[in-house]
Amino acid sequence: MVDVDRRMTGLNPAHIAGLRRLSARASAAPSVPVRNGVVSFASLADKVINHLRDSGIHVQHGLSDTEFARAEAEFGFVFPPDLRAVLAAGLPVGPGFPDWRSGGARLHLRASLDLPIAAISFQIARNAVWSKSWGPRPCEPEKALRVARNALKRAPLLIPIFNHCYIPSNPSLAGNPIFFVDENRIFCCGLDLSDFFDRESLFRSSEADPILLKKQRSVSEKSTGVSVSAAFSRRSLDSGTRTPRWVEFWSDAATDKRRRNSSSSSLSASSSPERFFEMPRSKVPGWVEEYIGQIGSVLKAGGWSESDINEMVEVSASGFFEGEMVVLDNQALLDALLLKADKFSDSLRKAGWSSEEVSEALGFDFRPEKERKPAKKLSPQLAERIEKLAQSVSRSRHDTWEKETG
């Protein structure tokens, strides 16, 4: 320990006392931290996995470090530590759950990551959502959608958890809220991952009913005494209060009262000075018909009867999209097609199809042509080096997080 009395002469007694305390602290052995993040996440993971199994959900062995590294490198995000702990403890499989393991379901997984932005874009086109941070909404619908799309590039990526329920990838911390997002609604359906999985009846059915989620949210609000919608703020859960962490854009959108009247907004759009455009209802675009025809061919090869195939794929232009369809450009049409394909995939998964079979039948590659790049073949040696690099980066991030939380 530093000899404070000998080296720091000339200081007043208060300064010397303070230096003594600092010197003693620096010389003392490191104390055991009160909060052990790894232990707490292990407890959370065990609780979630046991709850899923008790609810009749099939759970496979957890994701490996290699599988985590592959997903993070392929899709460009980092799993929040609490979600990573759950998926490392066990991988739930079945209708509604994302398939992080199967190589044949990667396009479906990519589509699941793209769905929230497609759904929000659909709501924006119907004038149901607009963030104040984007400034005044342009009068021209096409310009408004362009402004929104550019702004949405800064919004945190939403990671699918179950059906249309997502957890933000940023901030990369435990305790992010869970959002329900589809083409009609957006709301907070869980204060955090633990709160979301605590819902007793959510996983006893194969579908996360938005009405059920809202009822369960109301029960949660009564138990905490705080409205989830009203509780959104920039304060973190780290402050000790049971309020959902504020997440850029998604928290504001979830509490925006305008989106609650999306149906009436879309119906009154014709009388609004902000004019919207509908795709002609007498004809489906040729490329859409070709895509639906391919779906029919796959179903036929899978043994479906002609009547069942016709029931699924023969739709009129007015029936392809439910409600009022707002198609302002090609990207809006691709978004709408992705949303419809997602509904088809839900039906097929509930009918017993695997995630690979659904991906093969529906394709799910709805990105604009200019974004599609031809697949490049890598040598086995290069692929192995890339995999080792991804694992090293993943371990480094995990070790850094353990040091920060330990």
DSSP-derived 3-state class of residue 363 = coil
pLDDT for residue 102: 84
User: Distance (Å, rounded) from C-alpha 260 to C-alpha 174?
Assistant: 29
pLDDT in tens, 238-263: 444 568 899 999 998 988 744 454 44
Stretch 169-194: mean pLDDT = 92
24 vs 157: which has the higher pLDDT: 157
**94 in Cβ contact with 354 (< 8 Å):** no
141 vs 87: which has the higher pLDDT: 87
187 bridge partner residues: 180
3-state helix, strand, coil in the chain (%, to 5): 55, 5, 40
Task: Check: pTM over 0.75? Answer yes or no.
Answer: no
pLDDT for residue 85: 94
- Is the pLDDT at 269 greater than 50, yes or no? no
Q: How far is CA 264 from CA 126, 140, 210, 259, 281, in A?
A: 10, 20, 19, 10, 21
Residues 6+ positions from 292 with CB-CB distance below 8 Å: 284, 313, 315
292 vs 108: which has the higher pLDDT: 108
How would you classify the pairing of strands 158-162 and 178-181? Answer: unpaired
Which range (66-70, 175-179, 332-336) has the least confidence? Answer: 332-336
Of 150-164, 239-253, 390-404, which has the strongest mean pLDDT?
A: 150-164
- Is the pLDDT at 116 greater than 90, yes or no? yes
Average pLDDT over all residues of the chain? 72
User: Distance (Å, rounded) from C-alpha 371 to C-alpha 377?
Assistant: 18
**336 in Cβ contact with 291 (< 8 Å):** no
- Is the pLDDT at 79 greater than 90, yes or no? yes
For residue 195 the two structure tokens come to: 């709160």
pLDDT for residue 267: 39
Q: How confident is the model at residue 363 (pLDDT cuts 50, 70, 90)?
A: low
pLDDT for residue 16: 67
User: Distance (Å, rounded) from C-alpha 84 to C-alpha 133?
Assistant: 31
pLDDT for residue 231: 47
